[in-house]
Every structure is written in structure tokens, then in C-alpha cells.
Amino acid sequence: MIIDHSKINKLSDYLYEIPVTYRKAMRVPARIFATEALLKDIEQDRTLEQLLNMTTLPGIVGQALAMPDAHEGYGFPIGGVAAIIYPGGVVSPGGIGYDINCGVRLLKSQLEAKTIFTQIKRLADDLYQTIPAGVGEAGEFKLDKAGLDNVLRLGVTALVQQGYGEQQDQEYIESRGCLISADPRVASEIAKKRGLDQIGTLGAGNHFIEIDQIAEIYDESTAKAYGIFKNQITVLIHTGSRGLGHQVATDYIKIMMKVMPKYGINIPDRELVCAPIESPEGQNYLKAMAAAANFAWANRQMITHLTRQAWRRILGESGGELKILYDVAHNIAKIEEHEINGQKQSVLVHRKGATRAFPAGHPDIPEQYRSIGQPVIIPGSMGTASYILCGNAQSMRQTFGTVCHGAGRRMSRRAAIESISGQKLLADLEAKGITVKTDSIKGLAEEAPQAYTDVDQVVEVIHQAGLASKVAKLKPLAVIKG
């Protein structure tokens, strides 16, 4: 579908709208946070078509949203956000994605880069040897069925109880690393089998561990509240629910495909398959999604434990502790209360490739940050900058408390492989002083910075639109990838 660009209204320098009158089936307008340059990029694939399709979902309220890193996905575009009335609306697995609770966690040290610069390569080597990365890779931490069910039910709590972290870790994880609605019984045996040996593993694609240096501080007072400072060494972890989450999505997409006619739901794209929230299928999906989300938080917790072990092996007592700044999901659906047309309403917010960004005073923010606002972690593409932002009240008014999740893909993996030399990219990154550890040169080419939007532009849109404020910029010193 070709979108009539003349019908896209410019509301501000950073916000565009396709009005509800654009198509008969639309229930709400579609809004895109972008600059003119980013909007041109977004228009190159099916992102806007998928955004318009989102506006037809039963129960959608407010507006369908695309973040400045939006690009074509399954059902929803990646970078898509929708609030569905609860109860009464629908849940769509395509609005969460296959990698349920793909997310990021930032660990902070108390060391400046200059104090351990000569140890960075050794640390990267140790992390690469310790933490399995790649398609289908298994970890040394094996779960039996009862242990897996415990992880699916309790998330990070299950690992902390076994000594893989401390209770204070949970204070700095979205939802404390556990959605209490999770029910392992509604996740298939195939999904569970895929998860038995994948706790503590990165996976492939754009997942990574980075050793970063804080290169710039934009807001000194907020940085101080977050416990970060210029030249500080941090570790950024980006991964999700691995094969287990993928299987949960696959299973319930098939189930909903079969039952959707029973509920009389008509959608313009079969990838938007959905079911009423209160239906058995909708309830079971939400419980299974929560279980997969708990698995993902536990996965990042185990990687944190393994990272802390490597840190101690290389740096000894002089390395000090690695503490969690924050951990936030960017593929998830959650029941929240938002103001819709001047009234507080309960809604099921679908965030797909989009990050929660709650402002100061919100009860879901850790107490230490509550007077400041939620830390928002935005990873860049490999070898480029990442950012720490702070959620603002404007996000609650315009985006259901949501911002972007990174640098959106602008080149398919196939196109990247055909046009980018993995070996040359590796040499270029090393020449910039970035240590890269990977077992796949092909995978390196797929995730080249050239295949992604400029994260600086994406973050600037969020900052200028007032959704979240820039706090710090990180530059990579080492990257570990599958």
C-alpha cells in the first residue's frame, strides 16, 4: 500500500499524524514521532501501512503510535505502541513480538575507563568464553522441568533464591523482574523444552553484551541520582526470552488464527491476529507471555551473575561491584492506567520495540529514582553510541509512557550481508579501538551500523519532543555478539 503523503499532517517538528478520516476502518488516528528525514526512511517499507492497520484493532483508544526507530515487523511495526481498552478490547501477539521481553539491562561499576583500559580485551575474552552466544546456543545452567516452571512463575526471584544475585537487584528491574500473572501451565511443552538450557545465553541477531564508557553527561543532577559519572565503565546487556518466548508467540498466533472467526473479529492483515482479552485464548496468551517475560528477566539476571564472575576473575577485589542501574523490557504488553480523553482508564498497552518511560512520581519507579523519573536505556547499533534517558510527564500525555527502543533497522539482513564485508567491518571497529568478539562474521555484517538508523537522530527526536530527556551518552569499548 502506498500512503498518500499529502494526507500526513505535520503537528510539530517531531510529530506527524495520519487522521482517523484517512481510511474508513480506522478507529483512532495514527501518529509518528520523527523528523522529515526519518519519516522518509520510515516510508521505505510497510511501517506506515502496519501502523494504519493497528488503528483498526477492536478496543484501541487514543492513537496508534510509531516511534522514530520504527520499521516493518510482524503485525505491528517494530517501534509500534497501542493501548487497548481493558477489559473489552483484544490482545494481539504481533503487538508484542516473537522475542517476548527482549530488553536491556545496564550494570554500572565505580571505575573510570583509564583504570582498567588495559584489561578490557581480557574482560571481553572472558565474557565471550563464559556466556554462550549464537543461534540455539545452550548454557551450562540447566533446568529440570520443575526448576523451569519455578523460573516461569517467579522470574528473577527464582534465581536470587538460588544465589544468582541479591534481593536489591530486583529493586532496579521493571516489575521487579516478575509478572505475577504468569502461569507455566499454559506454555507448551515444546516452548518449555526450548528453554531448559537457555538461561544465561545471549542468542543471535542484534543481541549483545557491551563494555561501555560514559562519554558525555547532559544532566548532572539526574546522572548523580542514577549513580553515573563521566568516563565510568558500564556493561550493557541486550537479550530476551530466546527460543521459549519465540515458541510461545508461535503457538498462540496459530491458536488465535483458528478461533478469531468465532469472535467475529475482522482485521485488514492476518498478522494482526488477536483475541478478546477476556476470552480463554486471550487470557492464556497473557499468562504464557508473562511466563516468557519472567524467563527473559531471569536470563538477563543469569548473564548479570556470569558477568560479575568474569569481572571478579579479571579485576579482583579492585574491580568493586557491578550494580544494576535499570532493566527495562521493550517487547511486552501490560495492564496500566492512563488518561484517555480526560478520563483515567485501564488499558492493555502493547509495546513492540518500544520502551516504558515513566515520569517522576510514578509508583512503578524504584524509590531511589521516584523523585527524578525512570531511567530509560536506549542501545545503539553495534559500534555506535547508546544512551541513558529519563522519563518525562509528556510521555504519559502523548505516548502512554513510552519512547523508542534503539536504532531501527533500515536494511534487511540479506541486503546487509550482500553489501557489507564482515571482515572489513571487524577491522574498522578494531581500528576505532572497539574489541569485537563473535563466532559469526556473517552475523557481524547483518548487524553493521550501516544497516541501522542513526541512533543520535532517534534519541534527539525523543528528547526534543519532551518524552524523555538525555542524561548520558555511552561509547562502546568492547562488543560480544552471537
At 196-206, the pLDDT tens digits run: 999 999 988 78
- Mean pLDDT, range 159-179, rounded to an integer: 97
- pTM, two decimals, is 0.96
Instruction: Please tell me the distance from the alpha carbon of residue 380 to that of residue 269, in angstroms, as a whole number.
Output: 31
> Is residue 448 very low, low, confident or very high in pLDDT (cuts 50, 70, 90)?
confident
H/E segment holding residue 55? none
* Closest C-alpha to 51, from 334, 338, 340, 353: 353
CB contact set of 219 (below 8 Å; sequence gap of 6+):
390, 469, 470, 471, 472
pLDDT (tens digit, 9 = 90+) per residue, 215-267? 999 999 999 999 999 999 999 999 999 999 999 999 999 999 999 999 999 99
pLDDT exceeds 70 at position 417? yes
* Structure-model confidence comparison of residues 37 and 481, the more confident one: 37
pLDDT (tens digit, 9 = 90+) per residue, 40-86? 999 989 999 999 999 999 999 999 999 999 999 999 999 999 999 99
Set of cell numbers at residue 464: 526534543
CA distance readout (Å), 396 to 65, 83, 257, 344, 405: 13, 12, 33, 12, 17
CATH of segment(s) 5-410+452-481: 3.90.1860.10
Residue 119: its pLDDT value, please?
96
Residue 159: its pLDDT value, please?
97
pLDDT (tens digit, 9 = 90+) per residue, 320-373? 999 999 999 999 999 999 999 899 999 999 999 999 999 999 999 999 999 999
CB contact set of 65 (below 8 Å; sequence gap of 6+):
30, 31, 32, 33, 80, 81, 82, 354, 399, 400, 402
Residue 418: its pLDDT value, please?
73
pLDDT (tens digit, 9 = 90+) per residue, 368-414? 999 999 999 999 987 789 999 999 999 999 999 999 999 877 777 77
Mean pLDDT, the chain, rounded, equals 94
pLDDT exceeds 80 at position 419? no
> Is residue 137 very low, low, confident or very high in pLDDT (cuts 50, 70, 90)?
low
pLDDT (tens digit, 9 = 90+) per residue, 140-150? 788 999 999 99
Residue numbers annotated as active site: 405
> Is residue 130 very low, low, confident or very high in pLDDT (cuts 50, 70, 90)?
very high
Q: Per mean pLDDT, which range of 101-110, 137-146, 147-156 is the poorest?
A: 137-146
Set of cell numbers at residue 79: 517501534
Q: Per mean pLDDT, which range of 101-105, 153-157, 416-420 is the poorest?
A: 416-420
pLDDT (tens digit, 9 = 90+) per residue, 288-324? 999 999 999 999 999 999 999 999 999 999 999 999 9
